[in-house]
Amino acid sequence: MADQRLTRDELSWLLAQEARGAARALRDGVSQLAPRDPATVPSAKLPEVQVTLDALDGAIDAISQLQHRQPGPGRRGRIDAAALLMQLAPNARIAIEPGAGTEVYGDETELRRMLYVMLGQSSSPAESVEATTPEINVRRDGELVRLSVALGPDQSATAELERRWLNRMALRMGGRLELEGGDQALLLPADETSVRHEVDLLRRELEQAKQLGETYARELAEVFTAGVAATAQDETTVPTPSSVGRERFELLRGLGAALARRLRPVLEGMESDLEKVKGKLGDVSPAVQSLQQRYASMREVLGELNRVANAHDANSQRVAEPEQLVREVVAGAERRASRHGVKLVLDATRSSAKLAESQVLTVLLRSLLDHGIAATPRGGEVHVLVRAHATDAIEITVRDGGPGVPPRARDDLLYHRVDPTSMGRPAGATLLIAHTAADLLEASISLREGPDGGLEVRLVLPDAGR
């Protein structure tokens, strides 16, 4: 450490911070002195101080930018304050409270400099910190680590500035500087306190994102169930007029795009916070693993919204075999199935039928697969069957390992009029998305009981080759 007194850069930074506070207080005072009705006061008597204050703020900002220094090579993370004190003052007598943690979180270079300046105030200016033998007390004070040392002879002209600088630096780290009698104490947040605060903050963000996802499902249900009459049948088949389907799907796309724009910055911030927590707690921490699972769940919701928002109502020029198209969609869902511990099984029978490729068809098939994956317990299977339904239709069936649904509740489930979790089905709007896409493609979608008592979703698509 080159000098135990403040450097020119450190003094300039301190003065810039204090000037900023003084300018803010001056602006507040001028605002309080300004007349409530400026029209009642002659313009000549109203000083144009606002322009001057704006210029002052600009000058202070410029000074702050000039004084900004790039971070040095110091390590940022968990730092043992007691061990650092022993390095700085090897001859010091350090009293440590038994059983109390002495680790703080911050930048090692900044903390080293703060301790060096504080120790310098406990000795004569002619002595170096390394040669002094101060008595230092390190103990826990609630959620803070308290580092205290007796003040030495006040012979430095910059002693008061040094204390103000120490207080500013401590405030920036979330602590404070205290003077009590002849002792000076630096109080800094303990490392576990910082970690716990960041974990709690990330959990609140995840909870808000979860609530936002549930809100989007409810809003989708309210939009698409308006004016639709319910029919209760053993096998729920929904009529699909093309004009109504086009209007409903455009509403779905717009709502999906709006919600995706709202969720994306939230998840980006959560990802950054999660990386910080992982760096402190490690990947194997139960709290980190729980947060990662919730984050992955919200990423899946964002993926569903993006697929819907980007699905344009236009078929490609190519028609392909149903087995080929379904196989491509199944391959795209393999990663999600693997994360949930679910196996996808495709059983397709070749036929002469053809399907027109389109983004809407991809969204429809992927939504059925995502619903089946979410409904199936870990270790289970989702079966996808492709069959020729008739001379002019193709039948695609998705059979999951989740619980079945009573016949009278299937229509409500398809339109999302009820909470799916009340029947053991996964939350979300995947079935509603699939149903809306089927309307646009003039297809029919129905819910049935599977051979093992689970749920089958049967989709009947027209043959594009006829």
Q: What is the CATH number of the domain that holds 447?
A: 3.30.565.10
Residues 185 and 236 grouped into a single domain: no
Residues 339 and 207 grouped into a single domain: yes
Query: Of the candidates 189, 210, 243, which is a domain's last residue?
Result: 189
CA–CA gap between residue 172 and residue 390 (Å, rounded): 72
Residues 17 and 89 grouped into a single domain: no
394 within domain boundaries: yes
Name, in order, each residue with C-beta under 8 angstroms of 449's C-beta and a sequence gap of 6 or more: 404, 455, 456
Q: Give helix 407-414 / helix 430-440 axis angle, nearest 10°.
A: 80
- Burial of 33 per CB tally in 10 Å (0-12, 13-18, 19+): exposed
Under a CB-based contact definition with an 8 Å cutoff, are residues 171 and 20 in contact? no
Over residues 138-159, the pLDDT tens digits come to 888 877 888 888 887 765 667 7
H-run or E-run covering 333: none
pTM of the model: 0.51
Contacts 24+ apart (CB under 8 A), 2-5: 4/116, 4/117, 4/119, 4/120, 4/128, 4/129, 5/117, 5/120, 5/125, 5/156, 5/158, 5/162
How many domains does the chain contain in total? 3
CA-closest candidate to residue 51, choices 30, 36, 32: 30
Residues 225 and 171 grouped into a single domain: no
Over residues 308-344, the pLDDT tens digits come to 888 876 655 567 788 888 999 999 999 999 999 999 9
User: Mind listing the pLDDT tens digit of every residue in the chain (466 residues)?
Assistant: 445 567 777 777 777 777 777 777 776 666 666 555 555 544 444 445 666 666 666 666 666 555 544 444 456 667 888 888 888 888 878 888 765 677 887 778 888 888 888 888 777 666 676 767 788 888 888 778 888 888 877 656 677 888 888 888 888 877 888 888 788 888 888 865 555 556 666 667 667 766 766 666 666 666 555 544 443 344 444 444 456 677 888 888 888 888 888 888 888 888 888 888 888 888 788 888 888 888 888 888 888 888 888 887 665 556 778 888 899 999 999 999 999 999 999 998 877 778 877 888 899 999 999 999 999 999 999 999 998 876 678 899 999 988 888 888 888 888 888 888 888 888 888 888 888 888 888 888 999 988 877 889 999 988 876 6
Give residue for tokens 């008595």.
135
Residues 332 and 378 grouped into a single domain: yes
Residues 62 and 88 grouped into a single domain: no
Taking the CA atoms of residue 164, residue 165, residue 170 and residue 173 in that order, the dihedral angle to the nearest 10 degrees is: 140
Residues 184 and 200 grouped into a single domain: no
Give residue 367's Cα distance to chain centre: 24
Residues 144 and 60 grouped into a single domain: no
Helix (H, G, I), strand (E, B) or coil at 199: helix
CB count within 10 Å of CB 193 equals 18
Residues 172 and 202 grouped into a single domain: no
Under a CB-based contact definition with an 8 Å cutoff, are residues 430 and 374 in contact? yes
Domain extent for 123: 76-189
CB count within 10 Å of CB 379 equals 10
Query: Of the candidates 163, 189, 215, which is a domain's last residue?
Result: 189
CA–CA gap between residue 442 and residue 435 (Å, rounded): 11
- Strands (E) across 39-181 are located at 76-80, 93-96, 103-107, 135-141, 144-150, 176-180
CA-closest candidate to residue 128, choices 8, 34, 251, 3: 3
Residue 191 structure tokens: 């490392």
Residues 320 and 219 grouped into a single domain: yes
411 within domain boundaries: yes
287 within domain boundaries: yes
